[in-house]
A = this chain, B = another copy of it.
């Protein structure tokens, strides 16, 4: 069954374009242009994801976000005007899942929607234990064991290892790892990943020159030994 997405935006040009793209991508969509009607529409449609513009007639996106959050943990993506850094911060507090600054390309929106679904459904279906070779993770308990010895990992190190272990052998670019680790699309310094890889290797007892677990793929990124 395809996921249903509720669009709340008063610019019909934008909603029409987004609906076109999202439906092409296999999602069902519904749209509403009036902020005051967003909550009733949400209750009626029971969408799996909401895309909210901030500037709306009658009620702004923040208020809608707050109200939806009172009764649901449905993923919410906000559309913000560019350069409003405060938006991001306010939104995070209100429980939005991602932000897209205008102007955006419809394809980017589809990509973010996919990413949010991956994240939010992944959790439900994700097995609580992950084991590959000598490494075992318990996702619920947030514990790691290497060679029978418990290992203490920071949150990012843990996320990183989860990503790598979920697809052993598959190469991830630094950017992919960053995006999987950080919540939203992230545009910082890619090589921050190198530091976490270094720390992970140290904690797992891996040697960068001759690694058993986390392999470097020159010119691409990293992968977990298959």
Given the complex of chains A and B, what is the CA–CA distance between A83 and B59 in angstroms? 33
A220 interfacial by beta-carbon distance below 8 Å: yes
Closest chain-B Cβ to A52's Cβ sits at a distance in Å of 15
Are A73 and B24 touching (Cβ within 8 A)? yes
Copies of this chain, tallied across the complex: 2
A104 interfacial by beta-carbon distance below 8 Å: yes
Are B103 and A119 touching (Cβ within 8 A)? no
Chain A residue total in the interface (Cβ 8 A): 43
A166 interfacial by beta-carbon distance below 8 Å: no
A141 interfacial by beta-carbon distance below 8 Å: yes
Residues of chain A from 176 to 226 with CB closer than 8 A to chain B in the complex:
217-220, 223, 226
Are A220 and B140 touching (Cβ within 8 A)? no
Are B106 and A219 touching (Cβ within 8 A)? no
For this complex, 21 residue pairs linking A to B, each with C-beta atoms less than 8 Å apart, are A13-B93, A16-B70, A17-B69, A20-B70, A21-B95, A24-B73, A89-B103, A95-B105, A96-B105, A107-B119, A107-B120, A140-B169, A140-B171, A141-B170, A141-B171, A141-B223, A141-B226, A142-B171, A142-B220, A154-B218, A154-B219
